[in-house]
Each structure stands twice: as structure tokens, then as C-alpha cells.
Amino acid sequence: MTINEKQDELIEEFEFLGDWMDKYEHIIEEAKELPEMDPKLKQDQYIIKGCQSKVWLFPEYKDGKLIFYADSDAIISKGLVGLIVRVLSGYTPEEIRDAELYFIDRIGLKEHLSPTRSNGLLAMVKQIKLYALALASTKKMPT
Amino acid sequence: MEIKSEINYSYLEYQGAPVRHEFPALHQDVFGKPLIYLDNAATTQKPWKVIHATNKYYVEMNSNIHRGVHYLSQKATDAYEISRNTIAEFINARQSKEVIFTKGTTEGINLVADCFGRYAVNEGDSVVITSLEHHSNIVPWQMLCEKRNATLKVIPIDENGEIILDEFEKLLDETVKIVAVSYVSNTLGTINPVKEIIELAHKNGSAVLIDAAQAVHHIPIDVQSLDCDFLVFSGHKMYGPTGIGVLYGKEEWLNKIPPYQGGGDMIKTVTFVKTEYNDLPFKFEAGTPHIEGAITLKAAVDFIREIGINEIARFEAGLLKYATEQVLQLPEVQIIGTAKAKASSLSLNIRGAHPYDVGVLLDKMGIAVRTGHHCTQPIMDFFCIPGTVRASFAVYNTMEEIDKFLESLRRAIKMLV
Ligand SMILES: Cc1ncc(COP(=O)(O)O)c(C=O)c1O
């Protein structure tokens, strides 16, 4: 599946969720399905700044692909980061760098992307893009 | 249907009473649900009285004050000074020149930390605050202590969120120049024993600043009977406009301490050699002030006085008591801050859920609460929590709203836990 196919899949999932509470119910489900993150990886340097809750994002570069592990102490933040990880994890740095994330807008979470929101969705996306950009240009993980 | 011949409800308890109609912002839907505004400790909504007063200022009297001899300038100046008099009466200051207009609580504290600090705090001295303070009553004192090589001492709190007075007494010695304490904690709602604190501090020869940001619209304040040296509050938390606040200071202190900022209005004569400062209160009001805010603040004070601060205190205590009792029915809820005397704010956490999650879901159900550390990180550290969900009440909230808040809280718990 391409990144865009994954985005389309998500859009379809959210399409039938009528109100906000249903959407959040689904985001909470997403959090529950996010693969467990090794507690050893939950170090301060992997915390994404700008969230009211703690969100950890750990990148692994393996066989030319970027894989992300994430967790949060808040379940909704975990669900949000889970959505992004589901769409972007497991692709080459170039693919991630060039991906245009339209699903956030289409599933109605665009308001979460505003820099004045404290949930850090924007910061999560930026951090992932940063890892991809660095890897694509230098072939080295930024420290 | 039986029609009661007698109405037992007070003005505030009568549901749908005029008081709610005076607040236009309350009557709107958010995410398709009627707004329930329980973030009053952050800021209150504004009554028509205040909105109209703002309008009236720009329509009828906009001009600069204390300067022109022309009609409009006189009119605005009069309104500005009448507002000062009204505020002086409201807090029972001896004289209206003891009331200084500021941008808000934060500026009031910074002003005192800076000016009192330059006058009285030297190397080896100390400043005492409490563990309950808002960051704006911590950081200015930290900055002062750093500048003057002084020490910041902190009165600890207990598990209920009450100040430990015995520990305060131990901190008092000849180095303590000023004690800065909040009247009511914005996070826990604790009403602090400020009268006792002031007495103890004065016995020790220390001055006292009271941060009344969360008190002035909830409980009656009389600066003379409190005998505090300084007291600060914000207009926007008491149904008034943003960007305006008040510093009350005893005349004796305001005359002794140096001015805050230099500029127009705060001077009598200026030459390049020497400037003579103006008298109180103008000495502390450099530059063109927030004229419209100051004038409009009178409307907010009038609003409070017309209902009566005692009546407001009684009514809000009823809301807080009801909300507390209801919330305690939910086994998942833990109340943070269980002091005996509390005002307006109810902080809680859901066991097994992050406060942020609770806040997001409540928001989508139309309920405005605040989540996070509420600018009081030391309190979060003390209780070892990442934040709280805080519901804070005002004169226009109703028991029905508290019921809806609870219903929504139950739904959030079901989804999160
Ligand atoms: C107890 C307390 N002190 C100070 C402040 C700061 O007030 P302002 O932001 O209006 O200056 C607040 C506001 O949240 C407060 O609750």
C-alpha cells in the first residue's frame, strides 16, 4: 500500500462517523491498536514538544525504510500520533518527505493542525518530516 | 399546575433569571451543543453593562485624559477618575489615590516586585511566597531575588492544598522584606488565611502583597480590615474588560517606593538634569493608559455591587458544594484540593485518564473547562500529576449546567477508562 492508499483507507473509515464523539471513539480505538512501544525508548529526547500530554516518537532506520514507534500518556494524543504513524511508518525517507498529508483535513481534524492548538499534531508531523528530510539528504539519522 | 404565590428563589437562583440574559456570549452553541462555560477562573464572560460601557466610551467620550482642557478630554478624565473612586470604594481603600490602574494582576505584581524590590530588598534579604502561587506570583519574585542576591522562601502546603501556617512562622526572620500570597488559589480553590498571614508578617516587620485575582469577584474584600500593604487583581476575571487591572497600595508605601516606568503623566517637571515625579496615583501610571478599560471596569464593579458580593459568595458556594457532592458520586474521580475553605474552582482528575483527554471530550460536548497545570507547575509537582481538569464557577452558572457537566463527565469516563 502506498502512503496515499493508506490515507484513503483512513478517510473511508472516518466517513461514516457522524459526530465528534464517534470520531474520538475511533481515535481512542486507534490508540489501543498502536503497537506497544518499548519502555526503554521512552526517553526525554524523544518527547515531542508542544503537547499538553507527553508524546514519544522514536524513529528506526532499517533496510532503507523509516519506522516509527510512538506512545503518549494521554489516550487521545496516542490515537492521533497513531494515525500519523499508521500512514507514514515503513516507507523510504524520500516517500515520507514528499508525502502530502491530506487525510487530516479530510477526516475533520484540520483544526488540530493549527499552531495554536496544544495537542501537538502539527509538531508530530513536523518531527516525522524532519527525520525523513535529514535521512533523505544525508543518509544519517539526526541526533 | 399549581402556581406558587411566593417566589423563594433569590435573584441568582431563579433559573433563567435576568443575570444570564445579561451575558450574550453564554447564549451560543458549540459543536451543536449549548455552551456551558465553566472556565471562569481563566476569564469571565462580560455583561451587557460592560459591553455597552465600552461602546459608550468610543461613541461619546474618546479622547486622551489628564491633558487637554477641551470638553471631551475632561469628560473622559472624569469618567476615568470616577472609576478609580468606585474601585476604591469597592475594596474600601482609604483614598482613591491608593488605586493604581495596571494591565492586570501580572503587571501589578511585577510593579511591586520591581519598585518595592529596589526600595527594600537587598543582598541577604528574602521574599516569602507559597507553594500555591500562580506563575505570575512566583517568577517576578525569582527575578527580583536573582537581581538582588536575595532568597526566595516558599511556605509548603499539605495534602488538602492548605498552607501550613506553622511552617510560615518558621520562615519569618529579619531578612523577610515582603510576603506575597494569593487570596484564593486558581488551581485548587483554596481560600488562604490571608488575615493571619498579614498579622504574622506585620509582627515580623514584613510587608504583604495579596494576589486577589481569584478573590475580588467571589468574596468581599476590605483592604483596611485586611491591613495588606499591596493587593492586585485583574479586570477580566471580574466581568470586566481585558488589559486592565488594579494595584492597591497603602499611600505610605506608594510614596516611598520609586516609580515603575518613566514617561508622560507620571512627571511634574522634566529637565535634562532632573525630573520631579508626579503625585499619587499618577506617579505609577506612565503613558496613555488603557482609558476605555479603566472606565469600563466601573461597569463591572457596578454589576457586582448591584447583586451584592455577599450574595454572589453565598450563591457560588452553593454551586461549588453541589458540584463537589455530585462529582464525589463518581468512583473514578479524584478531587485535587480538598481545603476546608474553597471558592469557585473545582479541580479533579479521572483515575486512569489524562486530564487532556477529559478536556478534549468535554469540549466536544459543549463544556468549556480548563485542563493542564493552570500556570501552577509547583502544585502539579506536589501532587505528582501532569495536570487537572478544572471547572470554575461564576455568578451566571446554574445547577442544571452542573448536572450536564456531570453527565458529560460520565460519558467521558466511559470512553476513556
Ligand atoms: C491567582 C492568579 N494570579 C495571577 C493571575 C494572572 O492574572 P493576569 O493574567 O490577568 O495578569 C491569575 C490568572 O490566571 C491568577 O489566577
pLDDT tens, residue by residue, B96-140: 999 999 999 999 999 999 999 999 999 999 999 999 999 999 999
Q: In what order do the strands lie in the sheet with B333-336?
A: B333-336, B345-350, B388-392, B370-372
Q: What is the dihedral of CA B370, B376, B377, B378, to 10 degrees?
A: -140
Is the confidence at residue B367, as pLDDT, over 70?
Answer: yes
Q: Is B92 left (phi over 0), alpha (psi -120 to 50) or beta?
A: left
Question: Residue B142: its pLDDT value, please?
Answer: 98
Chain A residues with beta carbon closer than 8 angstroms to that of B386: 53-54, 73
Q: What digits encode the pLDDT tens for the residues B278-288?
A: 999 999 999 99
- Judge whether B360 is closer than 8 Å to chain A, CB to CB: yes
3-class secondary structure, B257: coil
Q: What is the CATH number of the domain that holds A110?
A: 3.90.1010.10
In this complex, which of A52, A54, A77 lies closest to B371 when CB atoms are compared? A52
Task: For chain A, give the percent of residues with pLDDT over 70.
Answer: 92
Task: For chain B, give the percent of residues with pLDDT over 90.
Answer: 90
In this complex, which of B31, B354, B365 lies closest to A53 when CB atoms are compared? B354
Confidence bin at B311 (pLDDT 50/70/90) = very high
Question: Residue B267: its pLDDT value, please?
Answer: 85
A51 is catalytic: yes
Half-sphere exposure (Cβ direction) of B121: Cα atoms closer than 13 Å: 28
Question: Residue B38: its pLDDT value, please?
Answer: 98
Asked if residue B40 has its Cβ within 6 Å of ligand 1, the reply is no
Q: What digits encode the pLDDT tens for the residues A28-42?
A: 999 999 988 999 999
B235 Cα to the center of ligand 1, angstroms: 10
Question: Residue A42: its pLDDT value, please?
Answer: 92
Distance CA B144, CA B83 (A): 32
pLDDT (mean) for B83-95: 98
Question: Residue B324: its pLDDT value, please?
Answer: 98
For B374, nearest residue in chain A (alpha carbons): A52
B224-248: string of b/e by CB count within 10 Å (b at 16+)? Answer: eebebbbbbbbbbbbbbbebbbbbb
Could you tell me how many residues make up chain B? 417
Distance from CA of A63 to the nearest CA of B (A): 36
Interface of A with B (CB under 8 A): 19-21, 24-25, 28, 51-54, 73-77, 118-119
Distance from CA of B293 to the nearest CA of A (A): 26
Enumerate domains of chain B plus CATH numbers: 13-30+309-416 (3.90.1150.10), 51-305 (3.40.640.10)
pLDDT (mean) for A116-122: 66
Distance from CA of A29 to the nearest CA of B (A): 10
Q: Which of B101, B219, B342, B375 for mutating ligand 1's site (highest number of atoms within 8 Å of CB)?
A: B375
CB B364 within 8 A of CB A21: yes
- Judge whether B32 is closer than 8 Å to chain A, CB to CB: yes
Question: Residue A108: its pLDDT value, please?
Answer: 82
Residue whose C-alpha cell is 452558572: B397
* C-alpha closest to that of B110 among B32, B118, B171: B118
- The amino acid that residue B325 corresponds to is E
A54-76: string of b/e by CB count within 10 Å (b at 16+)? Answer: bbbbbbeeeeeebebbbbbbbbb
CB B350 within 8 A of CB B328: no
Distance CA B91, CA B50 (A): 19
Q: What are the φ and ψ backbone dihedral angles of B349, each rounded to 5 degrees?
A: -135, 150
Q: What digits encode the pLDDT tens for the residues B225-275?
A: 999 999 999 999 999 999 999 999 999 999 999 999 998 888 888 888 888
- What is the total count of domains within chain A? 1
Does the pTM surpass 0.90? The reply is: yes
Q: Are strands B370-372 and B388-392 parallel, antiparallel or unpaired?
A: antiparallel
Question: Residue B282: its pLDDT value, please?
Answer: 94
Question: Residue A84: its pLDDT value, please?
Answer: 93
Is the confidence at residue B3, as pLDDT, over 60?
Answer: no
B110 Cα to the center of ligand 1, angstroms: 12
Run of H or E including B154: strand B151-155
pLDDT (mean) for A55-83: 93
Asked if residue B105 has its Cβ within 6 Å of ligand 1, the reply is yes
pLDDT (mean) for B39-64: 96
Residue A65 lies in a domain: yes
For residue A67, the Cα-to-chain-centroid distance in whole angstroms is: 11
3-class secondary structure, B284: helix
Confidence bin at B4 (pLDDT 50/70/90) = very low
Is the confidence at residue B328, as pLDDT, over 50?
Answer: yes
Q: Which of B130, B135, B214 for mutating ligand 1's site (highest number of atoms within 8 Å of CB)?
A: B214
Is the confidence at residue B6, as pLDDT, over 60?
Answer: no
Confidence bin at A116 (pLDDT 50/70/90) = low
Are B415 and A52 within 8 A, CB to CB?
no
* C-alpha closest to that of A118 among B393, B106, B68, B373: B373
Are A53 and B372 within 8 A, CB to CB?
no
Question: Residue B1: its pLDDT value, please?
Answer: 38
Is the confidence at residue B15, as pLDDT, over 60?
Answer: no
Question: Residue B14: its pLDDT value, please?
Answer: 54
CB B235 within 8 A of CB B245: yes
3-class secondary structure, B410: helix
Task: For chain A, give the percent of residues with pLDDT over 90.
Answer: 64
Q: Kindly report the average pLDDT of chain B as a whole number.
A: 94
Name the residue range of residue A99's domain. Answer: 3-138
Chain A residues with beta carbon closer than 8 angstroms to that of B31: 20
Is the confidence at residue B189, as pLDDT, over 80?
Answer: yes
Is the confidence at residue B206, as pLDDT, over 60?
Answer: yes
Question: Residue B2: its pLDDT value, please?
Answer: 41
- Judge whether B25 is closer than 8 Å to chain A, CB to CB: no
In this structure, which long-range contacts are made by residues B75-81, counting pairs with CB atoms below 8 Å and at least 24 apart in sequence? B76/B291, B76/B295, B79/B295, B79/B298, B80/B289, B80/B291, B80/B294, B80/B295
Is the confidence at residue B320, as pLDDT, over 70?
Answer: yes
Are A119 and B360 within 8 A, CB to CB?
yes
- Grid coordinates representing A131? 527525520
Instruction: Say which range, A18-22, A96-100, B77-81, B193-197, has the weakest mean pLDDT.
Output: A18-22
Is the confidence at residue B39, as pLDDT, over 90?
Answer: yes
3-class secondary structure, B174: coil
In this complex, which of A19, A52, A77 lies closest to B387 when CB atoms are compared? A52
Distance CA B34, CA B367 (A): 8
- Grid coordinates representing B216? 475580588
pLDDT (mean) for B302-322: 95
Asked if residue B133 has its Cβ within 6 Å of ligand 1, the reply is no
Residue A143 lies in a domain: no
pLDDT (mean) for B296-325: 96
User: In the 8-state DSSP scheme, what is residue B213?
Assistant: T
Q: What is the DSSP string of B349-400?
A: EETTS-HHHHHHHHHHTTEE-EEE-TT-HHHHHHHT-S-EEEEE--TT--HH
Is the confidence at residue B340, as pLDDT, over 80?
Answer: yes
Are A24 and B361 within 8 A, CB to CB?
yes
B331 Cα to the center of ligand 1, angstroms: 32
- Judge whether B207 is closer than 8 Å to chain A, CB to CB: no
Confidence bin at B5 (pLDDT 50/70/90) = very low
CB B148 within 8 A of CB B308: no
B232 Cα to the center of ligand 1, angstroms: 10
Residue A18 lies in a domain: yes
Confidence bin at B18 (pLDDT 50/70/90) = low
Distance CA B327, CA B345 (A): 13
Distance CA A72, CA A79 (A): 9
* C-alpha closest to that of A131 among A123, B348, B137, B271: A123
Out of A31, A34, A51, A104, pick the active-site residue. A51
CB B241 within 8 A of CB B297: yes
Distance CA B169, CA B204 (A): 9
3-class secondary structure, B127: strand
Confidence bin at B11 (pLDDT 50/70/90) = low
Q: Which atom of ligand 1 is nearest to the CA of B236?
A: 10
Q: What is the DSSP string of chain A?
A: --HHHHHHHHHHHHHT--SHHHHHHHHHHHHHHSPPPPGGG--GGGBPTT-SS-EEEEEEEETTEEEEEEEESSHHHHHHHHHHHHHHTTB-HHHHHH----HHHHTT-GGGGSTT-SS-HHHHHHHHHHHHHHHHHHSS---
Is the confidence at residue B88, as pLDDT, over 50?
Answer: yes
Distance from CA of B413 to the nearest CA of A (A): 12
Residue A121 lies in a domain: yes
